[in-house]
């Protein structure tokens, strides 16, 4: 074989492998190789193409990054078959009517079989393939002509650039929805916030904004996915005879279809599926706004035909709206455990997403300014999942003449202490500390909560009562509460009082991590509390640790270390801990003692490729031995593990005189420490 032929063969093999891995990862949601192996093949392909630019093909998996151009407008594409819209139903009765109309038109008494699919909240897209290659991707537009967004569409990993298999129609048009999964939307908005840029209101807008970018390299960085729901142009001989069968076929050709798709019978099956999905809606990784029901048999679909621009054989049964309009009656300021003063909108109650909402968080003053929100404004409120309802936007045309500007209070609404806003921070805080009843109450509620000291029966309302009645003012006071003091309180009988005192008594021996978590140190959540407990093994060692030592703990950076350090230097915190100990609270040491974590306090860096394990495995092994694993080499690095093809990190370690071990040395170290 010539050199050229060998390169071409390797390029083809690499592309095929990567396409296959992409299909498993993005379409089937079932990764078939570890990330490192995928990355290795991709790097090899990029290098080989860079050395042989004449051999780069348009459908190579490397060509998805989106060349950074700035188009000025999108060309028009006429749809060979119009892109239809769907009729909507908003009640069971309207669904009943739909099913009855279908049976009447078919002149059939038989129960109809329906294909049921979640209706994704995104943008409709039509993808045209000729001879198995993607020719263009177009938006719906007015249904007859849309915009050519091929350059952007090509960057989505769940859209095949060429079809899988060999048996596909010469011309194929697959239609579906482009959407942004909830997690990707959160990440994108966090990133935009950190960069000081405008965030998106919801995943749908984020998907639309990302897909209609004039610069495809921006689209390429956005977490967009495509899910197919119909085939518009195809030689019928290539297609099965049902809607569900057709989608399964489309999946074979390389497209993601909705894993929740199901076939049911009759209206009862449809309504059962609808309710099931409504329950499941908040747990799905993407947003849906209803269910689409389609007559499953394609011959019956043909018989039913269309009316205006919607098919008679399909309907979208919408879920209750998640965005509604209401009015801001007032804006109040709440004080949290850490003193954060948070504005909350008190709303004219509205029914949204299945519940009545009368409050929405406004986060901080920056958010109020961004929204330009006044008391009295008409606003759009959004409730998605079980997150706190948000104010999405103000409707300025509806602002009443008596609307008032919202200002940050200068003193705490609970204790009257000064409210301060540190420069550069969005959050304003009450300076009252534990003098502030709101902060005390929140600190005690957190201390008693299930994941912390787990004091059964000590709920939020009872904590408020105990503080308001002057029976407790700190968490240590809980352990000298008497039954007779509690029994007289509102809705507290003798039995409940006995149970509460027993529960408080039973909480005296928490695991160390729970005790640390219960203290309510800023930025110390459960995971950090566990890492601190595991690393230090005892509260005293943690209390005495300096900033450098704290940062040796996994996932503890300078900010968290600063909060922990400062917490243990406040006299009132030390007094509270002492009082707790005096009153019989003592923690259980972690099961793995520091002595069994021989690499505690050491920082390792992994670089290059290891042959015997993945990088994640190596990291987990090191962390189990107590080491912190960092991504970069510095003077603080204890040791660098250098696999094959290690690069700049190895050079830097050598220049700093840091200990370096190769894979053999690393395995020997693990064996030795495992004992
Ligand atoms: N899941 C799904 N969404 N959706 C939207 N199926 C579906 N079908 C549609 C639309 C507009 O139209 C069909 C008539 C092809």
pLDDT digits (tens, 9 = 90+) for 289-313: 899 999 999 999 999 998 877 899 9
Query: Beta-carbon neighbour count of residue 28 at 10 Å?
Result: 12
Tell me what pLDDT residue 501 has.
95
Please give the Cα distance from 89 to 70 (Å, whole number).
41
Task: List, by residue number, the catalytic residues.
Answer: 119
Q: 420 has which bridge partners?
A: 429
Please give the Cα distance from 524 to 244 (Å, whole number).
49
Cα 230 to middle of ligand 1, angstroms: 7
Tell me what pLDDT residue 581 has.
95
Let me know: does 583 contact 479? Beta carbons within 8 Å: yes
Cα 292 to middle of ligand 1, angstroms: 7
Please give the Cα distance from 488 to 467 (Å, whole number).
14
Tell me what pLDDT residue 675 has.
60
- H or E stretch at 44: helix 35-51
Q: 128 has which bridge partners?
A: 136, 173
Query: Beta-carbon neighbour count of residue 214 at 10 Å?
Result: 14
In this prediction the pTM is: 0.59
Eight-class DSSP state of 199: P
Question: What is the biggest distance separating any 2 CA atoms in the chain, rounded to whole angstroms?
Answer: 94
458 vs 483, 515, 532, 577, 582, CA distance in Å? 13, 17, 27, 20, 22
* Ligand 1 pocket test target in 85, 124, 173, 175 with most atoms within 8 Å of CB: 175
Please give the Cα distance from 34 to 372 (Å, whole number).
48
Let me know: does 272 contact 93? Beta carbons within 8 Å: no
Tell me what pLDDT residue 133 has.
94
Spell out, as residue ranges, where the chain has pLDDT lower than 70: 65-72, 384-387, 591-596, 675
| Strand 314-318 relative to strand 288-295, pairing | antiparallel
**Nearest atom, ligand 1, residue 177 CA:** 3
Let me know: does 256 contact 158? Beta carbons within 8 Å: yes
Please give the Cα distance from 283 to 287 (Å, whole number).
9
| Pocket, ligand 1, Cβ cutoff 6 A | 84-86, 117, 119, 124, 229-230, 292, 311, 314
Query: Beta-carbon neighbour count of residue 378 at 10 Å?
Result: 18
Tell me what pLDDT residue 72 has.
65
Let me know: does 295 contact 301? Beta carbons within 8 Å: yes
Of 468, 420, 429, the closest CA to residue 335 belongs to 429
Quote the strand ranges of 484-530, DSSP E: none
For residue 58, the number of C-alpha atoms closer than 13 Å in the C-beta half-sphere is 10
**Closest residue to atom 7 of ligand 1, CA basis:** 229
Please give the Cα distance from 173 to 132 (Å, whole number).
11
Please give the Cα distance from 173 to 166 (Å, whole number).
16
Quote the strand ranges of 140-238, DSSP E: 145-147, 171-179, 225-233
At residue 530, φ and ψ (nearest 5 deg) are -65, -45
Please give the Cα distance from 182 to 624 (Å, whole number).
32
Cα 279 to middle of ligand 1, angstroms: 22
Residue 549 CA, distance from chain mean position: 32
Tell me what pLDDT residue 571 has.
86
Tell me what pLDDT residue 195 has.
81
**Closest residue to atom 8 of ligand 1, CA basis:** 229
* Ligand 1 pocket test target in 302, 314, 319 with most atoms within 8 Å of CB: 314
**Nearest atom, ligand 1, residue 117 CA:** 1
Let me know: does 41 contact 17? Beta carbons within 8 Å: yes
**3-state DSSP call for residue 430?**
strand
Quote the strand ranges of 12-100, DSSP E: 76-78, 88-89
Ramachandran area for residue 537 (φ above 0: left; ψ -120 to 50: alpha; else beta)? left
Tell me what pLDDT residue 149 has.
94
Tracing tokens 């059962």 back to the chain, one arrives at: 272
In tens, the pLDDT along 605-651 reads 999 888 888 888 888 788 878 888 888 888 888 999 999 888 888 88
Cα 252 to middle of ligand 1, angstroms: 20
Angle between helices 203-211 and 182-194 (to 10 degrees): 70
**Which ranges of 106-175 does DSSP label H, i.e. alpha helix?**
150-153
């Amino acid at each position: 074989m010539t050199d050229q032929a060998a390169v071409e063969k390797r390029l083809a093999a690499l592309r095929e492998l990567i396409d296959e891995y992409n299909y498993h990862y993005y379409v089937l949601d079932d990764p078939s190789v570890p990330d490192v192996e995928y990355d290795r093949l991709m790097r090899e392909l990029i290098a080989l193409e860079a050395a042989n630019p004449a051999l780069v093909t348009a459908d190579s998996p490397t060509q998805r990054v989106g060349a950074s151009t700035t188009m000025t407008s999108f060309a028009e594409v006429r749809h060979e078959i119009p892109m239809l819209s769907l009729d909507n139903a908003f009640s069971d009765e309207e669904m009943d009517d739909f099913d009855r109309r279908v049976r009447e038109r078919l002149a059939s008494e038989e129960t109809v079989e329906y294909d049921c699919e979640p209706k994704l909240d995104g943008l409709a897209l039509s993808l045209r393939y000729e001879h198995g290659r993607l020719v263009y991707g177009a938006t719906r537009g007015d249904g007859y002509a849309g915009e050519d967004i091929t350059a952007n569409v090509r960057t989505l990993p769940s859209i095949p650039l060429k079809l899988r298999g060999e048996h596909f129609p010469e011309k194929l048009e697959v239609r579906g929805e482009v959407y942004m999964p909830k997690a990707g939307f959160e990440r994108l908005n966090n990133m935009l916030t950190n960069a000081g840029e405008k965030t998106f209101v919801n995943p749908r807008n984020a998907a639309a904004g990302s897909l209609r970018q004039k610069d495809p390299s921006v689209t390429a960085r956005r977490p967009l996915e495509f899910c197919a729901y119909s085939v518009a142009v195809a030689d019928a001989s290539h297609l099965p005879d049902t809607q569900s069968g057709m989608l399964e076929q489309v999946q074979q050709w390389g497209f993601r279809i909705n894993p929740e798709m199901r076939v049911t019978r009759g209206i009862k099956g449809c309504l059962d599926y609808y309710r099931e999905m409504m329950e499941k809606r908040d747990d799905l990784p993407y947003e849906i706004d209803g269910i689409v029901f389609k007559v499953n048999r394609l011959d019956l679909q043909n018989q039913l035909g269309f009316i205006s621009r919607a098919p008679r054989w399909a309907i979208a049964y919408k879920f209750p709206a998640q965005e509604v309009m209401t009015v801001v009656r007032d804006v109040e300021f709440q004080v949290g455990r850490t003193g954060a003063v948070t504005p909350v909108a008190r709303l004219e109650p509205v029914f949204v997403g299945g519940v009545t909402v009368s409050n929405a968080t406004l986060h901080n003053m920056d958010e109020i300014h961004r929204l330009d929100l006044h008391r009295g404004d008409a606003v759009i409120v959004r409730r998605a999942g079980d997150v706190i309802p948000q104010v999405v936007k103000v409707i300025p045309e509806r602002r009443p003449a008596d609307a008032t500007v919202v200002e940050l209070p200068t003193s705490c609404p609970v204790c009257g202490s000064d409210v301060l806003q540190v420069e550069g921070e969005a959050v304003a805080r009450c300076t009252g500390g534990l003098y502030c009843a709101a902060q005390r109450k929140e600190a005690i509620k957190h201390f008693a909560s299930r994941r912390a000291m787990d004091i059964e029966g000590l709920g939020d309302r009872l904590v408020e009562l105990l503080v308001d009645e002057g029976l407790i003012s700190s968490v240590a006071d809980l352990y000298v509460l008497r039954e007779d003091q509690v029994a007289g309180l509102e809705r507290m009988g003798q039995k409940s009082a006995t149970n509460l005192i027993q529960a408080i008594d039973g909480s005296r021996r928490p695991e160390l991590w729970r005790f640390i978590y219960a203290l309510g140190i800023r930025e110390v959540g459960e995971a950090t509390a566990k890492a601190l407990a595991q690393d230090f093994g005892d509260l005293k060692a943690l209390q005495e640790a300096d900033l450098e030592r704290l940062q040796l703990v996994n996932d503890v950076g300078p900010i968290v270390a600063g909060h922990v350090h400062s917490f243990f230097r406040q006299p009132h915190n030390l007094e509270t801990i002492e009082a707790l100990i005096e009153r019989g609270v003592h923690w259980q040491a972690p099961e793995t003692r520091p002595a069994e974590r021989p690499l505690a306090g050491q920082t390792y860096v992994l670089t290059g490729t290891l042959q015997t394990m993945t990088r994640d495995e190596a990291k987990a092994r090191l962390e189990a031995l107590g080491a912190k694993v960092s991504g970069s080499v510095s003077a603080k690095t204890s040791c660098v593990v250098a696999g094959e093809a290690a690069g700049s990190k190895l050079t830097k370690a050598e220049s700093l005189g840091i200990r370096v071990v190769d894979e053999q040395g690393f395995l020997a170290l693990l064996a030795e420490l495992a004992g």
